Amino acid sequence: MDKIGLFFGPVGGNCNNVATKVAEQIGNNKVDLIPIKDAKHSDVEKYDKIIFGISSLGKDAWDNEDTETDWDKFLPEFNKIDFTGKTIAAFGLGNQITYPSHFVESLGFLAHELASKGVKLVGEFPTTGFEYQESHAVNENGNFYGLVVDEDNEKEKTDERIKAWLPSIKDAFGF
């Protein structure tokens, strides 16, 4: 089995913690953890199986050239990636209390960027158990595009949510 490339950002904090937990539950020997801020398109292209991890951010971070997020730094590289033949899953972090009308928007924007490149994410995740008003991270099936966690308000549920999500990507990722 080839290793899974798990690209995440930002480094430090909740997204980094969740990326580490996902790698641990899959098996650290099966996953390379790569901070997105240091990645190049060629780094992503080395992997056939990829997981992207993204923290909360709004559409303005995707559209504004002046932002300083790790994903913003990577976006020019992202646009160079050839996703042909790749299997992609994603997770997103959100805060359903502070941002109920923009819950886990970053996952939605990432999914839409990937879709514009012909990528269909594997590993959708149910919206049940979350309290929010609106989210662009909900797909046409009424599920989130990928794993969603709220480390700010429901940190105690993160491990069980990862455990519940991994079977939805297991066959596609071969672990």
In this prediction, residue 167 carries a pLDDT of: 97
The CATH number of the domain holding residue 60 is 3.40.50.360
pLDDT value, residue 82: 93
The per-residue b/e assignment along 29-57, b for 16 or more CB within 10 angstroms, e otherwise, is ebbebbbbbebeeebbbebebbbbbbbbb
Model pLDDT, residue 144: 97
Single out the residue of 58, 67, 118 nearest to residue 92, CA to CA. 58
Which pLDDT does position 12 carry in this prediction?
86
Residues of the chain whose pLDDT is less than 50? Answer: 58-62
Rounded Cα gap, residues 71 and 85, in angstroms:
23
pLDDT digits (tens, 9 = 90+) for 4-20: 999 999 888 899 999 99
Q: What is the pTM of this model?
A: 0.92
State how many domains the chain has. Answer: 1
Domain boundaries, position 79: 4-173
Q: What is the pLDDT of residue 65?
A: 56
pLDDT tens-digit readout, 114-135? 999 999 999 999 999 999 999 9
Q: Return the number of other C-beta atoms located less than 10 Å from residue 107's C-beta.
A: 30
Specify the pLDDT at position 72: 79
Residue 58: what pLDDT? Answer: 43
* Confidence at residue 56, expressed as pLDDT on a 0 to 100 scale: 80
Q: Three-state SS for 131? A: coil
Strand-strand pairing, 87-93 and 49-54: parallel
Alpha carbon dihedral 169, 13, 127, 98, in 10-degree steps, equals -170
pLDDT of residue 159: 97
